[in-house]
Structure 1
Amino acid sequence: MANTTTVTRGRGSSPSPGHRRKDAGRVRASGMPAWSIPYLLLVPGLLVIAGLLLYPMVQLGIMSFQKVGLAQVRGTRPAEWVGLENFEKVLSNDIFWSALRNSLAFAFFGVSLTLILGTAVGVLLHRLGRKMSLFVVIGCMFAWAVPPVAQGVIWRSLFDAEAGIVNWALNLLPDWLAAPPDGQTSWSGTPWLNDTLPLYIALVICVVWAGFPFIAVSVLAGLKGIPAELYEAAKVDGSGAWHTFRKITLPMLRPVFAVLTMLSIIWDFKVFSQLYVLMNGPTNRDGFNLSMYAVAEAFRPPQKLGTGAAISIVLTIILLIITVFYVRQIVKQEEM
């Protein structure tokens, strides 16, 4: 018994001072203090981020203060420094304010509907059995995996004036439920994507369809981490489904919703590819959002890359303001 006790103490005891001195000497032999090694490991990632994000942003900022056109891109003429002239032109243009309104309205409805639908599907997946839940998740993720350009092509074909399924489905409904527009005997030929309001309705549907699977899977992952004892206690107390969701699920998933809301705002504010395909290019100025307006100014002849860069900088600043405000609200709620 004495020998066994001695061995056990030896195994559980801390390393001897001699071992610690050897380890410390090994770190010193590398020529770097121990605290600097984690920062050194971050250097490759920081260099990649700087090359892919920081350098283009710096170049974009410089270009926003210059007059840059096709001649400057070709190198036949140097860029002319114009100071704040590009920003003054942008902020004094009615198209900018129209594009800003479209971006804000679209982001509000797109983010709200995506979060609501995604949360509902996430709760449904949590209630389903394991096999059925996996089947539904795989089916939903197919929509999320579709590239943005392909999403625009799919929904443009569905809203096509002549051969679209939307007009075909509306023609099957009785007139008291879906009456054709004035002067038409049927919905066939209705140009949904020519006017701003129906264009953005189609865009919201497109973005919600492609975005809700990510929200649903994220909510499902959050629900898996909520202790089942909380729901059992609520059931014993006679709490209803909505009351349980509002008092238990929502507070427990608040960090998840905070991240998802912030990401959705950023994604929806920058939507470009789907709108470009639905609009068939920058043809309808009334339907521009800020991303479309920046591309139209930069690349439509005559090219004004400086003005497009100024619009992009304004869009970035708006997103930073929204993000900082939202993060501050999250921090305040956590402190309370």
Structure 2
Amino acid sequence: MTNASTIARGGGTSSAPERRRRRSHRPTKASGLPPKAIPYVLLIPGILVIAGLLLYPMIQVVVMSFQKVGLPQISGKRPAEWLGWENYTKIFDNDIFWSSLRNTVAFAVITVSLTLILGTAVGVLLNKLSKRMSTFVIIGIMSAWAVPPVAQGVIWRWLFDAEAGIINWALNLLPDWLSTMLFGRADWTGEPWLNDSITVYLVLILTVLWASFPFIAVSVLAGLKGIPAELYEAATVDGSGPWRTFWKITFPLLKPVFAVLTILSIIWDFKVFSQLYVLIGGPTNREAFNLSMYSFAEAFRSPPKMGSGAAIAVVLTVILLVVTAFYIRQMVKSEEIQ
């Protein structure tokens, strides 16, 4: 009777699974928050950590760049004196700033290009090796990538040491006629590689390249694993060579990977400091300064001028932001990032 009256009223009957399914679709309000607000609430802990570790120190550096901060201010004997744009005016009028900027840009352009080329070549090679051999090579090259920056500088400083370096010893093993034909000299005993700014940056390029290309290679290898093998088989059937296959298939499909790797490499290479510090033995050779080394020298070398050092750090940060924003904008225009 009950079922009949219910049907007559138009209520109908529903099975137990259907009732459970209806209850499962009801929005839960245990948290008391709208569903759209939950992702933003979950981001708050990460934002607080970033603000504490990055944003607050960055704001402090910007403020310090407009102040006079020396030993009296550090010791608390005097408050920081507000200078306005004076720190920026002084560094822009200093020839060391412009030589440091030139060294920074030239080093970054050369190193980023070489790192991407070598890393891509090694990544393509790893993709063609067997699984066991590829794993062996990856472990070997990632060991170099895992070396701390200071240790990298120590290793390469020892290799190019004027008295006990392996490089001078190996060059002296070359026949005199071959060494003279290649380098214009036969005797390499006591060659001071790390005294001249040009040779210092050649060693620095080798140091950073040695430690950076493994990350590029492994990233390219991961991207290559996602490309269907049928595309390469079709290219082989069409008679496409390796070079054309790379530019027509591999490179277009890996553009997002190359975009991220390029931005990361630019940021890393613009900020190189530890390796250069170890190679030249501290802020001694002004001709070999980059912006990071120049900022350190101004801030901590006696007498310390932390306001000037902070101003140089702010200029370096602005340059990185401009370069990164320009590169991202170009990628968006060319539809490299969808």
Tell whether the structures are fold-level matches, with TM greater than 0.5: yes
Displacement, 1:181? Answer: 8.1
Matches for 1:141-156 after TM superposition, within 5 Å: 141-156=142-157
Residue in 1 aligned with 2:68? 67
8 Å contact 2:223–2:257 — kept in the other structure? yes
Matches for 1:240-259 after TM superposition, within 5 Å: 240-259=241-260
Residue in 2 aligned with 1:45? 46
TM-score (norm 2): 0.92
Matches for 1:1-336 after TM superposition, within 5 Å: 15-16=21-22, 19-20=24-25, 23-24=26-27, 26-27=28-29, 29-179=30-180, 186-334=187-335
8 Å contact 1:215–1:260 — kept in the other structure? yes
8 Å contact 2:159–2:165 — kept in the other structure? yes
Displacement, 1:13? Answer: 10
Q: Which moved more, 1:244-253 or 1:29-38?
A: 29-38
Displacement, 1:11? Answer: 6.4
8 Å contact 1:181–1:187 — kept in the other structure? no
**Whole-Å separation in 2 of the counterparts to 1:175 and 1:14:** 89
Measured against aligned partners, the alpha-carbon deviations of 1:103-157 in whole angstroms (never above 9, x if no partner) come to 0110011111111111111001000000000000000000000000000000000
Q: How well do the aligned residues superpose, as a CA RMSD in angstroms?
A: 1.9
1:75 alignment partner, SS class: coil
Residue in 2 aligned with 1:4? none
Residue in 1 aligned with 2:8? none
Quote the sequence identity (%). Answer: 68
Change (3 A) 1:237 1:11: farther
Unpaired runs of 5+ residues, structure 2, are: 1-14
**Whole-Å separation in 1 of the counterparts to 2:292 and 2:18:** 62
**Whole-Å separation in 2 of the counterparts to 1:77 and 1:334:** 55
**Whole-Å separation in 2 of the counterparts to 1:11 and 1:248:** 51
Displacement, 1:279? Answer: 0.5
Residue in 2 aligned with 1:6? none
8 Å contact 2:295–2:312 — kept in the other structure? yes
**Whole-Å separation in 1 of the counterparts to 2:77 and 2:234:** 75
Measured against aligned partners, the alpha-carbon deviations of 1:53-107 in whole angstroms (never above 9, x if no partner) come to 0000000000000000011111111000000000000111000000000001100
Displacement, 1:14? Answer: 9.3
Residue in 1 aligned with 2:6? none
TM-score (norm 1): 0.92
Displacement, 1:273? Answer: 0.1
**Whole-Å separation in 1 of the counterparts to 2:145 and 2:210:** 8
Amino acid at match of 1:142: S
**Whole-Å separation in 1 of the counterparts to 2:307 and 2:18:** 68
**Whole-Å separation in 2 of the counterparts to 1:259 and 1:75:** 44
2:190 alignment partner, SS class: coil
**Whole-Å separation in 2 of the counterparts to 1:158 and 1:120:** 26
Measured against aligned partners, the alpha-carbon deviations of 1:166-185 in whole angstroms (never above 9, x if no partner) come to 10111111233323988x86
